[in-house]
Amino acid sequence: MTEGQILTQPRLLTEVESKELLRRAGVPVIETKLARTKKEAISISKGMGFPVVLKIISLDIVHKSDSGGVRLGLPNAAQVGKAYSEVMSSIKRKYPEAIIQGVSVQRMAPPGIEVIVGMSKDSQFGPVLMFGLGGVLVEVLKDVSFRIVPVTRRDAEEMVREIKGYPLLQGYRGQEAVDIPSLEELIVKVSQFIEQNPRIKELDLNPVFAYKDRAIAVDARIIMEV
């Protein structure tokens, strides 16, 4: 924010900014860097190791994949270069007015169970954390649990167990169980982060990938109060 700037709109932070704040607060997020040019995207990818993911970074684009702004599983420098050009031309065509900062670069995370952790402010209760399974399960079935911030370890344990999809986290039909304690730890860390940053209006970690030994957010979005 530049000095003297008058904010009249809630301020959206980019994926890169959101993840950086969360990382500093000890919330596990996948390492993510901003590339402003194709050359930068390639050199960052080489530094991180393939396969990588590119995502459009623009405050004018909230849903990155809906707008054709996410490219997953890029196996080498040539594919990163190609994906960079394709994402840029597609976004410029669809959203000619959008101000584009560049693309984010991150490692392609191995498959895991996708969950979401969110925060919104209730007019009566203040910040409330939400936990649920990612994707269709949350959108269609609204299978989520809520607790008021501050969320204790005990609250987090209950949140995880309350959702109908909990058996999926325990391992289902040969699928490996995920590390429940690391999910609880992540929820508590997010709650502490919210407490320390009362100006956050909304937060979304969607998705968090849950594995047998850890949990890590691969997308993050924060909206600040005016």
Interface ranges with ligand ADP (CB under 6 A)? 30, 53, 55, 63-66, 70, 72, 106, 108-109, 114, 206-207, 218-219
Applying CB under 5 A, does 206 fall inside the site for Mg ion?
yes
Report the nearest approach of ligand ADP to the CB of residue 104 (Å).
8
Report the nearest approach of ligand ADP to the CB of residue 54 (Å).
10
Which residue, 17 or 114, has its beta carbon nearer to ligand ADP? 114
Report the nearest approach of ligand ADP to the CB of residue 129 (Å).
19
Applying CB under 5 A, does 104 fall inside the site for Mg ion?
no
Q: Given candidates 17, 155, 185, 219, which one binds Mg ion under the rule CB under 5 A? A: 219
When CB distances are held under 5 to 8 angstroms depending on the partner's kind, the choice from Mg ion, ligand ADP, none that residue 7 binds is: none
Residue 143, sorted as left (phi over 0), alpha (psi -120 to 50) or beta, turns out to be beta
Cα–Cα nearest to 186, from 160, 224, 166, 168: 160
Report the nearest approach of Mg ion to the CB of residue 36 (Å).
22
Asked if 69 and 61 touch (Cβ cutoff 8 Å), the reply is: yes
